[in-house]
Structure 1
Amino acid sequence: MKHRPFFLVAACVAVGGLAWWLSQPLRGPALPAYEITARPLVQTVVATGRVVAVSRAQVGSPVTAVVRERRVREGDVVRPGDVLAVLRADDLEASLREAQAALAELQQSTRPQAEAGLREAEARLAQASREAARRRDLYQRQMITREAMEQAAQAETIARTTADQARLAVRALVPGNPVEAAARARVESARAQLAKTTIRAEVAGTVLTRNAEPGDLVQPGRILFEIARAGDTEILVPVDEKNLGVLALGQEAACAADAYPRQPFPATVSFIAPAVDPQRGTVDVRLAVRPAPAFLRQDMTVSVNVQTGARARAIAVPNDALDFAADGQAQVWLVKDGRAERRRVQLGLRGLVETEVTAGLQAGDRVLAEAPATLEQGDRVRPLTAVLPADPATRRELPVRLD
């Protein structure tokens, strides 16, 4: 009899345990569930892009020649006017010398000869005029024949014509005359052609590529150097066209180079392409980086997280709790009074791991994280608190994927 209380307690525990065990099927299976709360929500578009210059200058040779010197290499910083390469073109040098010689001959030989010819013609005209006057006087005194007088007059006329022609020749050779202007133009043209053999940078920037070495024969149309213009740095990002509706100019973005994942930097959406690439189904977006980190390099891979919307306080549901009906309407499994209830909801901002619910839920509700396919409306369930997934946007290393 003294052991009777012990057996009574053991029997009660056993009966209670049996009752609890038998009641579990009536309460339904234990399923993970999220408790809905109102909290800040950020909508982002995640993509991968590359660092590009605002523009690139391609430098070529305007003439056919052989490279004599190459004075820059990849990575060199150049300014407008800096010499990139020097070409050898003997024919252009010969053309310049020929044009200079023609101009010198005009100035030092042709013009002095014309002036000397004018002086000689004027002297002969003066002599012929005196002779004609003397013979007219002699003819009036009947000391010579009329024919002799007429011969002197004719000689005077010829001398005057010659002097006029010499005067015109000198006038045509005065400084600045058309002949000299044409000769000077030929010199300048030859000098300009020869200047083309010195390849210079037209813009300030960094040399990206070089395709010229001493001894190479270069021709017009061949790109010798490619220069990234100095100035603002941009990130070119091909974004899935499904995100086009949420993108806008001026949106802020967080970026991280794959080579420096722990050194994020900000950027701003500065350009959205007006057309979609039909083959890739993407739209090109450019992000302005001001100021650009010193470690950025051309064509460097960069992960981008563009913030397209934010709510200071929103009813948010983890994305794995959302389901979609055949008509595309979003829905969740709501746990109410221990039973599963299918609830249709309206969505707002969509984040990487959570989506805003604008209608259909309220703070404090519980929704199943992953409802089994066999779950039916009104089934009993036992919700177990599930841990909310971490938002990749809060990590220091941005996700490297196209969302």
Structure 2
Amino acid sequence: MRQAELNLTVAQLEAQRLARQIQTQQRSNAADVRELGYTVSMQQRSISELATKLRQANISSQQPGVLTWVNENIGTTVQAGDPLARVADLSSFRVRATISDTYADALHQSDPVVVRINGLDLRGTVTTISPSVEKGVVTFYAQLDNPHHPALRANLRADVFVVTRAHHGVLRLKNGPYYQGGKEQPVFVIKDGRAVRRTVQFGDSNFDFVQITGGLRAGEEVVVSDMKDHVDTPELIVKD
């Protein structure tokens, strides 16, 4: 009986040891499973990042357009964010223009503009004005009323005129070399075959016309060429 009791005690102790060993192995297995889960998650993240880089390596535009520039430095190392190509949406254009900082105070958002392209005038409005001045000029952007006009091209150079004031029903004269930009100056008026010097008062001006505030009447013919060489001559004879 004592031997049997001893054997039972030994067997019970062995059973307890095996139970503890099983519990320890189960905890170790659970830790291994968690570690494998972390490893799988990291590998999946790495695979996702590599797949994203692989997709980015295949350059494609997110919107329709025309390829305007490509990095032609073959073999160079490219970092993330470096431009490889540029695509322009040629279905719509906006205007980037510069103006002397002398006229910066007269420039405002929503001012009308006229963009002249090979004799064609396109109208629009000022949308954005740069707050900084670089090399004496201010940069501003204009939105055209018709940004899809067939005459528009990417990087096309054109004359941009900002309209700061408008007058209606006034006497005007075609702008030309005769106009020196002052408020009053002499001009030559054609009368009876002679060009007679007369002092004329001017108002505002634009790229095509000059406002006449005094000294001329509607219908009078004026010499619009450069007459600096005859500024002191009161009268000239006009020959056909």
Q: Assess same fold via TM > 0.5.
A: yes
Over the aligned positions, Cα root-mean-square deviation in angstroms equals 4.1
Q: 2:99 aligns with which of 217, 228, 239?
A: 239
Structure 1 residue runs of 5 or longer lacking an equivalent are 1-141, 325-329, 376-380, 386-403
Give the whole-Å Cα distance in 2 for the aligned partners of 1:230 and 1:353: 30
Structure 2 residue runs of 5 or longer lacking an equivalent are 189-195
More helix by share: 1
Give the whole-Å Cα distance in 2 for the aligned partners of 1:265 and 1:321: 26
Letter paired with 1:300: L
Q: For residue 159 of structure 1, report the CA deviation from its aligned partner.
A: 0.6
Q: Secondary structure at the match of 1:187?
A: helix
Structure 1 residue 285 and structure 2 residue 140: aligned? yes
Structure 1 residue 159 and structure 2 residue 15: aligned? no
Q: Secondary structure at the match of 1:148?
A: helix
Give the whole-Å Cα distance in 2 for the aligned partners of 1:341 and 1:291: 45
Structure 1 residue 187 and structure 2 residue 40: aligned? no
Q: For residue 158 of structure 1, report the CA deviation from its aligned partner.
A: 0.9
TM-score by length of 2: 0.67
Counterpart residue number, 1:270: 127
Q: For residue 230 of structure 1, report the CA deviation from its aligned partner.
A: 6.7
Counterpart residue number, 1:300: 156
Counterpart residue number, 1:332: 185
Listed as ranges, the matches of 1:134-173 within 5 Å are 142-144=1-3, 147-172=6-31
Q: For residue 220 of structure 1, report the CA deviation from its aligned partner.
A: 1.1
Give the whole-Å Cα distance in 2 for the aligned partners of 1:150 and 1:190: 56
Give the whole-Å Cα distance in 2 for the aligned partners of 1:308 and 1:302: 19
How many residues were matched structurally? 219
Structure 1 residue 313 and structure 2 residue 169: aligned? yes
Q: Secondary structure at the match of 2:7?
A: helix
Q: Secondary structure at the match of 1:312?
A: coil
TM-score by length of 1: 0.43
Contact 2:95 2:141 in 1 (8 A): yes
Structure 1 residues 218, 363: closer, same or farther in 2, change over 3 A? Answer: same
Q: Give aligned-pair identity as a percent.
A: 12
Q: Secondary structure at the match of 2:158?
A: strand
Give the whole-Å Cα distance in 1 for the aligned partners of 2:198 and 2:83: 68
Deviations 1:43-84 (A, max 9, x none): xxxxxxxxxxxxxxxxxxxxxxxxxxxxxxxxxxxxxxxxxx
Letter paired with 1:248: H
Letter paired with 1:252: P
Which protein is bigger by CA-based radius of gyration? 1
Counterpart residue number, 1:203: 62
Contact 2:186 2:231 in 1 (8 A): no
